[in-house]
Amino acid sequence: MHPAPAAIPHPALAAEDRPGAVLDAARRTRSALVAVTGLPGVGKSTWVRQLIEAGSGRARIIATTADAFEQSLPFALADKVARAAGIREGLLDAPTALDLLSAGRALLPALTRGVSSGRPLCVIVDNAQWIDDASAGVLRFVLGRVAHGGLLVVLSGHAPRVGGLAESIVAADPTAWGEVRPLAIDPLDAPEVREYASRVHGREISLRLAERIRDLSGGLPVHIDALVAGMERTAPDRSHWDEDVQFPSIPENPFHTVGTGATSAIATTVEIASVLRGSLERHELLGVAHRLGESADIAGALAAGLLVTASDQRIAPFHDLYAADVATRIDSAKRREVLTAAADALSSTHRALVCRLDAAEELDPLLLAEVRTTAAGAVSEGQPDRAIEYLRRASALADPQLRDELVVEICILAAAELVSPSVLDLLPELERMPSSPLRDLALLQTRQITGDIPWAAEFAAGLLAASVAHPDARTLELHTAMLAVMIQLTTGDYGPLPALLDRTRDLADALAAHPAAVADRRLLPLPSPAEVGLRATALLVLSTERLGLRERTAAELDALGARIGAAIDSPALSDALVCRAGHLGGIGRIAEAATDLERVARLRESGVAGWSIGHARVQQAYCAWLLGRTAEAAERLEEAIATVLDSIDVSARPLSYLLRAVLHATAGDTEGYERDLRTAAEVTVTAYDTMGVELELLAAVVRARALDRPEEVLEILSDERIGPRWLAGTSIFTYRVDALAALGRAEEADRELARLTELAGDSWEPIFGGLDWLEGRVAEAYGLHDRAIRAYRRAAKDGLPGPRAQAAFDAGRLLLASGEGEAGDRMLGIAAKGFGPLGAHDALRRISLLRDAPASEADRALGGLSGREREVAVLAGSGLTNSEIAERLYLSPATVAFHMRNVLAKLGLRSRRELRGLSR
């Protein structure tokens, strides 16, 4: 089940404009009037419903909706307000003739009934553009008087009518209003569409698909709902890419009748802006009109609301769908005239070239040269999508032979820049072309990402076995060999990898030692031999580790360090660092792994990112979690999730959600944990990853431990459940000792500890708890409490934050049980400080219960809170302010205040002071 649209905040709204925040702000002022405006379908009525829900129980809410059919009926809306306020017979049923004064006198006492400082009045009118004039006068008369006693008025509807009504009401008595604010709800942009699809529809989509939905829907939630619900995939074998998604039913353009009857000058102005899309400088639009020999009326178009002024003071059509509708009604000859004129008038090189290409009917040599020069510049500036756009437009104008050459060039460029999913639609053309060395490489690069591994493996092997007569034969062989490696990785069979990687690295080193100029310019974007050799060495570390070749792994790790030290900044360097970090993190060298990942982050910030961009963020989140920086870990995971659905790093998709499941498990958030496990399964494409830890296994164990279920931990870590799973080390078996000790199975726990002690420094590292803590667990299982306490105290001073906090907790627990209350309370305080940043809410609750906190009823009610509410509750109970909590959890203060209200209501508390027991 997924929430209805009314259950989530509108993604385009700032935190202070969300309904709960508006309600809170109004309560801090004497009276407030909010005019909510936006296009049809943008979510105004949903916002109103959310405000009503937020105010339920906290304010007296009188809500109604105006009706277009009643706009000509005097006092129709006033009658609705009266009935909503409790006047059973309304106003229109009165036996005497109704006028403004009598209507106001009848309505005034009804509005103020039952209102107090603790229960303020909130009057809401949706579709307020349809309020009849007589009712507008009544509202002006009544609301200005009620406002002196405290009031929130919300008028929701279309501009400019709603804005005019708000001004009229305020003008009756400006001194009565503490705040008057317009609140415009904007259509969603592509990232917000992606967030909306995830939160409302439970569909994880790429940014590219979100952009398509944005273009078709105009960013209006009512249309997004229809599009997402009706999405269909046409190529099931490519289901892990969004390029094949189709929309059988396209929403009708809601603006097809807007602007009819405009003057010819306004029409010309709108046509130019609509054909060119995007925003324009005023002088640019006038320049286009001048070249066309026509008059433009920018001021008139702005006054009519057909154009708007963008944030940068440029002008644009008021909505993309309106512009699209206007553009479709312009004949092709006129459209070419506008584009030709714009190519000379626009200051942007990019837009000017696009206009030239769209206006052209054939591709002449000069235009092709300009395309290639501008595309090369776009690539050097880190804009490969723009370069591909130019080449695509050029290919549409080319003759068949040149088009084939350009399609190959586009696909090789896309592979080199790691954006091959964006050119999957060109795959049928590649497959139809006759075989040639560059076409074959482009075909392998593009088709291998569709998941057809048997075909890709066979095709790559055939290319490597064949003799190629081409000036760039060695370069082609090198990149084909690297592709063969990547294809083998996706099979999960690591056996052939060392030989494939040795061949690839030998080729790379030979080419690097004797470089030669590339004959075919289309190969220039591909990685250099040195970069290929660096990547091959990094993958040798991971593959030999998976195969248990420890001596070889150690040697390759040294070789990788040398190559990293000599490498220049490049995507290959980023990938090599990620591979090394995965290895180091898996064997417990977390600080070293974090250092490599910080360097990867700096490379990414400078515009350098490799094919492992998703893995980098997941690994960085994992290290942050282990180092006690849970808020940072959550932020990195959100960045990863926003990345992996668009990049070719498909193997990082499940890892992102699995690690987020670990965080949810730590926090005791069952719903989030289960949701992320489901999503991880849905987005899984390949099993390949650079992580040195089995995240699904870790998530299950963390979940069982948070729920205090040692039997479940043992079942998860049993030989039967683990089976053939590859583990970088045995560190996770730390939890098997803990679970056995918790169940009192002292001898079994002792034997498992002895096994891990022998492996220490080899395949076991104290990632999840050191030997001192485990000795304490075994000693406690034997009943040797003094010995256990000493071991726990030692463990609480060393290691990572999570294990330190756990050891302090166990020491405090035993000290309290031994009658050493003061010492036990002190150790539990240390544990609470350690668990807090980790978001370990169930652990904090156990501490609270052990210390006999006064808010015991609240403790028992914690299970009814969401994971985020528990975070806010515990941090507030520790004395943090809303602003401090917001900073800690990367939320806005208004969002924290919203959660705080829910917490107090659910726990039956009167103030946040009563939460202090939770922190204890």
What 3-state DSSP class applies to 131? coil
Domain 853-920 indexed as CATH 1.10.10.10: yes
Specify the domain boundaries for CATH 3.40.50.300 within the chain: 5-184
Q: Could you tell me the two tokens for 890?
A: 């990367």
Q: How far apart are CA 113 and CA 432, in angstroms?
A: 77
Q: Could you tell me the two tokens for 673?
A: 């944990």
State the CB neighbour count (10 A cutoff) for residue 252: 9
Q: How far apart are CA 915 and CA 791, in angstroms?
A: 33
State the CB neighbour count (10 A cutoff) for residue 307: 27
Q: What is the dihedral of CA 634, 587, 789, 781, to 10 degrees?
A: 100
Assess contact for 34 and 177: CB atoms under 8 A: no
Non-local CB neighbours of 563 within 8 Å, separated by 6+ positions: 533, 534, 537, 576
Burial group, residue 185, by CB count within 10 angstroms (0-12, 13-18, 19+): buried
Q: How far apart are CA 891 and CA 310, in angstroms?
A: 28
Q: What is the dihedral of CA 763, 769, 774, 775, to 10 degrees?
A: 100
What 3-state DSSP class applies to 316? strand
Q: How far apart are CA 187 and CA 255, in angstroms?
A: 14
What 3-state DSSP class applies to 150? coil
pLDDT (tens digit, 9 = 90+) per residue, 682-726? 888 765 656 666 888 999 999 999 888 999 999 999 988 888 777
State the CB neighbour count (10 A cutoff) for residue 405: 17
Nearest-10 crossing angle of helices 695-706, 652-667: 10
What is the pLDDT at residue 749? 95
Q: What is the dihedral of CA 235, 239, 243, 247, to 10 degrees?
A: 70
Phi, psi of 709 (to 5 degrees): -125, 75
Phi, psi of 35 (to 5 degrees): -105, 105
Q: How far apart are CA 480 and CA 629, in angstroms?
A: 42
Specify the domain boundaries for CATH 1.10.10.10 within the chain: 853-920
- Within 13 Å of residue 783, how many CA atoms lie on the same side as its CB? 0
Q: How far apart are CA 561 and CA 587, in angstroms?
A: 17
Beta strand 179-184 with 31-37 is parallel
State the CB neighbour count (10 A cutoff) for residue 5: 19
Q: How far apart are CA 184 and CA 17, in angstroms?
A: 9
Q: Could you tell me the two tokens for 271?
A: 């046509």
Q: Could you tell me the two tokens for 440?
A: 């074959």
- Going by the DSSP 8-state scheme, the letter that residue 187 receives in this structure is P
Q: How far apart are CA 618 and CA 658, in angstroms?
A: 10
Q: Could you tell me the two tokens for 819?
A: 């009658």
What is the pLDDT at residue 360? 95
Q: How far apart are CA 687 and CA 691, in angstroms?
A: 11
Q: Could you tell me the two tokens for 351?
A: 């837009």
State the CB neighbour count (10 A cutoff) for residue 590: 20
Residue 607, Ramachandran bin (φ over 0: left; ψ between -120 and 50: alpha; else beta): left
Percent helix / strand / coil, the chain, rounded to 5: 65, 5, 30
Q: If you search the block for the tokens 């040795």, which residue do you land on?
A: 502
What is the pLDDT at residue 821? 87
pLDDT (tens digit, 9 = 90+) per residue, 791-821? 999 999 988 999 999 999 999 999 988 888 8
Instruction: Determine the CATH number of domain 5-184.
Output: 3.40.50.300
- Burial call 669-704: b when 16+ CB within 10 Å, e when fewer: beebbebbbebbeebbbbebbbbbbbbbbbbbbbbb
Helices (H), 293-399: 298-303, 320-328, 332-345, 349-359, 365-380, 384-397
Q: How far is CA 108 from CA 82, 375, 744, 818, in A?
A: 9, 68, 72, 68
Assess contact for 123 and 152: CB atoms under 8 A: yes
What is the pLDDT at residue 663? 93
Assess contact for 174 and 206: CB atoms under 8 A: no
Question: Could you write out the DSSP letters of every residue in 550-578?
Answer: HHHHHHHHHHHHHHHHHPPSSHHHHHHHH
Phi, psi of 119 (to 5 degrees): -135, 75
Report residues of the chain scoring pLDDT below 70. 1-7, 235-239, 311, 686-693, 852-868, 878, 887-892, 894, 908, 910, 913, 916-920
Q: How far apart are CA 543 and CA 185, in angstroms?
A: 52
Query: What is the distance, to the nearest Å, from the Cα of residue 81 to the centroid of all Cα atoms in its chain?
Result: 41
Q: How far is CA 913 from CA 805, 836, 854, 904, 916, in A?
A: 25, 18, 11, 10, 6
Q: How far apart are CA 913 and CA 218, in angstroms?
A: 47
Non-local CB neighbours of 460 within 8 Å, separated by 6+ positions: 444, 448, 480, 483, 484, 487
Non-local CB neighbours of 290 within 8 Å, separated by 6+ positions: none
